[in-house]
Amino acid sequence: MGLDIRWPIGLMFTLIGALLTGYGLLKSDVSMSLGININLVWGVVLLVFGAAMVIGAMRGGAAKK
């Protein structure tokens, strides 16, 4: 079968990470805990994970052909 689960997971995490990062940048005074902008930090974490999944899906699809 040609379904690679990394595509939808990667796209979902990248989208949510981008939204959360944008919110963390725009509303930096709202989500501070111990001086750390939680939304910004977790947004970047989700973006990196999503990008890794998408890159893995692209590399995995190229290896099968």
Predicted confidence (pLDDT) per residue in 9-39, tens digit: 999 999 999 999 999 989 877 777 888 889 9
Rounded to whole angstroms, the Cα distance separating 63 from 44 reads 28
Q: Rounded mean pLDDT of 1-6?
A: 77
Delimit the domains of the chain by residue range.
Answer: 8-13+37-59
Residue 14: partners with Cβ closer than 8 Å, 6 or more residues away:
46, 47, 50, 51, 53, 54
pLDDT at 64: 57
pTM: 0.81
Question: What backbone torsions phi and psi does residue 35 show, to the nearest 5 degrees?
Answer: 80, 10
CB 54 within 8 A of CB 14: yes
Instruction: Say what the pLDDT of residue 12 is.
Output: 96
Contact 39, 20 (CB under 8 A): yes
Tens digit of pLDDT for each residue in 34-60?
Answer: 888 899 999 999 999 999 999 999 888
